[in-house]
């Protein structure tokens, strides 16, 4: 028997020289590829269906994550911004009520 190896595929010929063995081996390879193609396509369709049916929940989850991240970023930057924007308090102040203006001559 003569054998030809191509990668993982080993093609053998029947001693009588019948090409049917080669055809059967190729048919097996084609069948495996067809099954893999079907499984891949079914996975893509199933995944798309799940995402489509859960799109509202996914959108809400993303909104919550973005809001949480934005809140944390603002809260982290806010103390530094407030310290820089606030003027220093004066050491001494004047009276609580300003002096009354002079009386008008009416």
What digits encode the pLDDT tens for the residues 63-101?
A: 999 999 998 888 877 776 666 777 777 777 776 766 777
User: Model's pTM, two decimal places?
Assistant: 0.46
Model pLDDT, residue 15: 61
26, 18 contact by CB (below 8 A): no
7: left (phi over 0), alpha (psi -120 to 50) or beta: left
Would you give the distance in Å from CA 39 to the centre of its chain? Answer: 24
As a whole number of angstroms, the distance between CA 74 and CA 67 comes to 11
User: Among positive and negative, which fits the CA dihedral 6, 11, 13, 19?
Assistant: negative
> What is the C-alpha radius of gyration for the chain, rounded to an integer number of angstroms?
41
What digits encode the pLDDT tens for the residues 30-74?
A: 999 999 999 999 999 999 999 999 999 999 999 999 999 998 888
């Amino acid at each position: 028997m003569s054998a030809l190896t191509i990668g993982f595929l080993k093609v053998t010929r029947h001693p009588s020289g019948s090409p049917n063995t080669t055809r059967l081996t190729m048919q097996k390879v084609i069948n495996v590829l067809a099954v893999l193609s079907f499984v891949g396509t079914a996975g893509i369709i199933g995944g798309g269906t799940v995402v489509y049916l859960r799109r509202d929940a996914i959108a809400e989850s993303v909104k919550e994550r973005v809001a949480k991240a934005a809140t944390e970023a603002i809260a982290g930057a806010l103390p530094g911004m407030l310290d820089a924007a606030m003027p220093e308090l004066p050491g001494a102040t004047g009276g609580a009520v300003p002096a009354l203006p002079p009386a008008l001559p009416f």
